[in-house]
Amino acid sequence: MIMSGNALYAIDVFALAWFALAYHRRCYRQGYRIDFWFAELFLICVFPNMIMLPFARSELNAIVLGRDLSAVVSVLPTVYLITLLGFFSVIAGGGLWRLQLGLGARRAAASVLSLIPRASLMLMSSRSVLVFHAGLCLLLQLSILAVYFSQSGFAFDLRAFTFANPALRPVALVISNYSVLIASHCLARYVDRRERILLACTLLLTLGLVFFGARGNLVSIYINILLCYLVKLRSRISLFRIIVLIAGITCFGFYLGNARSGDFSLSGLFGSLAFLLLYGNNFSDLRDFAWVYSSWDHVFWAGKTYLAALLSFVPRFASQFRDTWGLGVATATTVGFDPQVHPGLRPGMFGEGFFNFGLFGVVAVGLMLGIILRRVDLDVKLAFASSTPSMMEAFASTMLLELAGCIAVSAGFSGLYVLVGIYFFSWLCLSAQRFLQPRRMRILAGGG
């Protein structure tokens, strides 16, 4: 698609202005400094695509792209417009959730979407079940870290170790997903009940995950609860303080990345911070989407990466199909990387939908994201607007974002299986607890 840089930037400025105006009218003036709708819209659409557009077109990307720079820059206008279609599809999806169609469609969708929040509330209803899960997570963490340390020495990059040992990769992934989900549920209950053992569980699981080499795991434990807390504060916290908080979290995340590679220098961090932020691989959705698009043969994948995700309970080394069509493998192979040593590129929330089904896939993913984001946003606000504000109720609804993220980017689909497994196992534990409790009371009564 031929488009001048000025025209592209004009569209970008218009989209950013629209977002800013919508935030001011529908969030700031409503008494909130941040809410889930605008926070998620910013994180998945505005920052990695609109704000990063001029940096994605910069020649400094040659450090990462090498000889592919000119090809990537030439397709950026097309890729940008595809992501813009996704952005407005999300907004349309949020509008659809507010419609009263009169056909029961919204009520049916609400019933289905309520399953995950209800299951999370069930999990958080029992302190003993959470502590049991946390203990099991810690045991699993210690087991795989013992293998890691015995072969590589004391280090902070289990992820790289599992790439060299593919048989351990699915095991480490399950353990990290399990730990993140249990730690975040423990923290949510702690905020409401102040049970110190749950705070201890959260911190111990966080410490274990430091050695796994994936900063996203650490962020995932705290980010939804932090956003819920900021929504609860409404206007009692300034926008400036929120920006400073986000900047601090970002710097800490980059420092962990440097520490993982053995660089513990703060001066080195601040010296490279701008490059890491603007030209690194942390917020490179638009650039990576364009990178894959520039090498793509324009034959749609027709759902193969989604099917590979559904089979994510099968290790890659045991499935030729998964070893070919997993999202990370497909993106890495397309641009010429070896998927055995490279985890793949990140084409954002709309890249996988496009490569599989074209513009229809982009619109479908956008509508799905919009519907779920709007539902979560309303649920969180209602949880804190009641006479008994509850972090557990607010946080339970945010688990729907796990579902949305796994559908939009199938690389994380195994996390959804782990979540369902946690719910099912917790239900079994609670059922056994309810069955045994009356018998114990009868025995004690008879003994008295």
Average pLDDT (79-90) is 95
Average pLDDT (122-129) is 94
Give the residue among 264, 284, 124 at the shortest CA–CA distance from 192.
Answer: 124
Q: How confident is the model at residue 195 (pLDDT cuts 50, 70, 90)?
A: very high
Give the count of alpha carbons within 13 A of 12, CB side only: 22
User: Under 8 Å CB-to-CB from 128, ≥6 apart: which residues?
Assistant: 433
Which DSSP string do the residues of 24-68 spell out, in sequence order? HHHTGGGT-S--HHHHHHIIIIIIIIIITHHHHTSGGGHHHHGGG
Per-residue pLDDT, 101: 46
Q: Which two tokens stand for residue 326?
A: 């997993």
User: pLDDT tens-digit profile of 4-59?
Assistant: 667 889 999 999 999 999 999 999 999 999 999 999 999 999 999 999 999 988 88
Query: Residues 291, 74: contact at Cβ < 8 Å?
Result: no
Assign 3-state DSSP to the chain and report helix, strand, coil percentages, each to 5.
Answer: 80, 0, 20
Query: Residues 141, 175: contact at Cβ < 8 Å?
Result: yes
29 or 162, which is more confident: 29
Q: Which two tokens stand for residue 201?
A: 């569980």
Per-residue pLDDT, 270: 67
Give the residue among 370, 323, 322 at the shortest CA–CA distance from 350.
Answer: 370
Flag whether pLDDT at 269 surpasses 80: no
Cα 383 to Cα 377: distance, rounded to the nearest angstrom: 10
Radius of gyration of the chain (CA): 23
Q: Is 302 exposed, middle or buried (0-12, 13-18, 19+ CB in 10 A)?
A: exposed
User: Under 8 Å CB-to-CB from 24, ≥6 apart: which residues?
Assistant: none
User: pLDDT tens-digit profile of 90-118?
Assistant: 999 998 876 654 456 667 777 778 999 99
Query: Residues 169, 316: contact at Cβ < 8 Å?
Result: yes
Per-residue pLDDT, 207: 92
Per-residue pLDDT, 364: 95
Per-residue pLDDT, 216: 81
Per-residue pLDDT, 279: 80
User: pLDDT tens-digit profile of 341-352?
Assistant: 777 888 989 999
Give the residue among 411, 262, 412 at the shortest CA–CA distance from 339.
Answer: 411
Task: Give the chain's mean pLDDT.
Answer: 87
> Quick check: helix, strand or coil at residue 264?
coil
User: pLDDT tens-digit profile of 393-447?
Assistant: 999 999 999 889 888 888 888 889 999 999 999 999 898 888 777 655 455 555 5
Flag whether pLDDT at 194 surpasses 90: yes
Per-residue pLDDT, 296: 93
Per-residue pLDDT, 13: 94
Cα 11 to Cα 332: distance, rounded to the nearest angstrom: 30
Give the residue among 86, 9, 93 at the shortest CA–CA distance from 285.
Answer: 86
Cα 325 to Cα 321: distance, rounded to the nearest angstrom: 6
Q: Which two tokens stand for residue 42?
A: 């910013």
Cα 285 to Cα 301: distance, rounded to the nearest angstrom: 19
Per-residue pLDDT, 85: 96
Cα 241 to Cα 239: distance, rounded to the nearest angstrom: 5
User: pLDDT tens-digit profile of 346-378?
Assistant: 898 999 999 999 999 999 999 999 999 999 999
Give the residue among 381, 371, 431 at the shortest CA–CA distance from 401.
Answer: 371
Whole-model pTM above 0.95? no
Per-residue pLDDT, 443: 54
